[in-house]
């Protein structure tokens, strides 16, 4: 028994000063249930993805979802957390409830409000997703962790600044047509490649355009078992939903290989009976451009150390052989931690149902998603296909 996505909702991402975690959660919960053609009383179980780590004064946020509709009262509701993959972790818990026969319809919500937190505290909160005994004193926080990864990659394979700029430019160009994106501006390759007052170095070889945005936002999906989904308005099937957890200390693994990501993709292709060549697009976790570059290699688009060729060739552009991040990715869309994984599933479902508007990949039939927590520690891969 597998699961399908039958409805969804998504707020704009950005600095949402007039919103709260509660207002964001309740809005997308109501809208997703309505989009699925259901009443709140039809929901059997609820999962909330919310990282928090100090971003929100209100903790114990699972029950905030019930504020969306009195019909949700007394429904089993659980908060799920797995760093930057928190949203996908919540999605996977919903899938498991359906596979176990414990629920027929599950509401999954992802949320984060980050921008009300002072800058230094944001950095400290995000650094908690690394292994503090090794990385706790890293300058520039979590950006510094990925700056170190980028520097090590450059040392092993040569300067990749051109490729990182191309990835940044691609994702910003794609994000222009995404109404949910925080940064809807096509900066162009030269701006992303060149150090300037507006694009300074942040950590190691990473410039501002190499780093995803601090953001607020929420997204939600409604899951259903296949039998129920086939009676719904739409049904996007999980051909695969794989979760691979790796060691937290980077010293215990080859951090330039993103091995957990590679294992996740391998398992997802085996589970779904598909290959990389079958995919119409991929939404991948570009928290930093160096992450997307290494993910090309981990998913099998390029051999180790050769991801730059893929970036520079245009193969992953929206009109390329395999569009990667046609939504603009985290780089353009923003990265409200708990919402990100759910957002990826919403936007991929929109692609597969032909409802993606200006970011639509023509004729999309099979979509891949990779969402990670930490530096390739929590690795989630989904392969989606529309069946109704």
The full DSSP string for 1-46 is: --EEEEEEEEPPPB--TT--HHHHHHHHHHHHHHHTT--GGG--EE
The residue with tokens 């027929």 is 104
Q: For 3-117+214-229, which CATH class? A: alpha beta
Distance between CA 50 and CA 243 in Å, rounded?
18
The residue with tokens 């609820």 is 46
Q: Which of 108, 81, 112 is nearest to 13 (CA)?
A: 112
Per-residue b or e along 228-262, where b marks 16 or more CB atoms closer than 10 Å to that residue's CB: bbeebebbbbbbbbbbbebebebeebebbebbbbb
82: which DSSP letter?
B
Q: Which of 352, 5, 327 is nearest to 181 (CA)?
A: 327
pLDDT given at position 231: 97
Domain boundaries, the chain: 3-117+214-229
Q: Which of 28, 121, 129 is nearest to 342 (CA)?
A: 28
pLDDT in tens, 31-48: 999 999 999 999 999 999
**Alpha-carbon distances, residue 38 vs 78, 105, 171, 310 (angstroms):** 21, 10, 35, 43
pLDDT given at position 1: 60
| Residue spans of the chain under pLDDT 50 | none
Characterise 83 by phi-psi region: left (phi > 0), alpha (psi -120 to 50), beta (else): left
Predicted model pTM? 0.98
Q: How many Cβ atoms from other residues are within 10 Å of residue 119's Cβ? A: 10
Q: Are strands 3-10 and 281-283 parallel, antiparallel or unpaired?
A: unpaired
pLDDT given at position 319: 97
pLDDT given at position 354: 98
The set of catalytic residues is 84, 335
Distance between CA 178 and CA 341 in Å, rounded?
17
Distance between CA 316 and CA 243 in Å, rounded?
24
pLDDT in tens, 175-226: 999 999 999 999 999 999 999 999 999 999 999 999 999 999 999 999 999 9
Here the tokens at position 339 are 């919402």
Query: Largest alpha-carbon pair distance within the chain?
Result: 58
pLDDT given at position 180: 98
3-state DSSP percent of the chain in helix, strand and coil, to 5? 40, 20, 40
């Amino acid at each position: 028994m597998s699961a399908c996505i039958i409805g969804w909702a998504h707020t704009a991402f950005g600095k949402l000063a007039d919103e709260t975690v509660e207002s964001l959660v309740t809005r997308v919960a109501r809208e997703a249930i309505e989009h699925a053609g259901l009443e709140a009383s039809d929901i059997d179980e609820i999962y909330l993805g919310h990282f928090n780590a100090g971003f929100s004064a209100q903790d114990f946020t699972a029950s905030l979802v019930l504020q969306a509709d009195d019909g949700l009262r007394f429904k089993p509701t659980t908060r799920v957390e797995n760093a930057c993959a928190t949203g996908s972790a919540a999605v996977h818990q919903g899938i498991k409830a359906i596979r176990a026969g414990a629920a027929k319809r599950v509401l999954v919500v992802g949320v984060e409000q980050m921008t009300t937190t002072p800058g230094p505290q944001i950095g400290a909160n995000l650094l908690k997703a690394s292994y503090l005994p090794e990385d706790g004193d890293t300058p520039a926080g979590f950006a510094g962790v990925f700056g170190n990864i980028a520097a090590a990659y450059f040392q092993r394979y040569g300067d990749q600044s051109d490729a990182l700029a191309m990835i940044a430019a691609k994702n910003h160009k794609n994000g222009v047509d995404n109404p949910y994106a925080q940064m809807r501006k096509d900066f162009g390759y030269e701006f992303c490649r060149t150090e300037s007052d507006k694009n300074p170095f942040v950590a190691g070889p990473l410039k501002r355009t190499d780093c995803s945005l601090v953001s607020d936002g929420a997204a939600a999906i409604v899951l259903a078992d296949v039998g129920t989904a086939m009676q719904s308005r739409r049904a996007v099937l999980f051909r695969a939903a794989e979760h691979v957890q790796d060691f937290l200390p980077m010293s215990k693994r080859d951090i330039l290989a993103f091995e957990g990501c590679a294992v996740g993709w391998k398992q997802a292709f085996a589970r779904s009976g598909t290959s990389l060549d079958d995919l119409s697009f991929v939404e991948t976790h570009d928290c930093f451009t160096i992450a997307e570059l290494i993910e090309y290699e981990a998913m099998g688009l390029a051999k180790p150390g050769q991801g730059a060729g893929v970036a520079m060739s245009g193969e992953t552009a929206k009109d390329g052989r395999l569009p990667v991040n046609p939504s603009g990715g985290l780089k353009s869309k923003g990265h409200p931690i708990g919402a990100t994984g759910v957002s990826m599933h919403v936007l991929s479902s929109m692609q597969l149902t032909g409802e993606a508007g200006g970011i639509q990949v023509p004729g999309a039939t099979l979509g891949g998603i990779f969402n990670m927590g930490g530096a390739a520690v929590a690795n989630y891969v989904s392969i989606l296909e529309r069946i109704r």
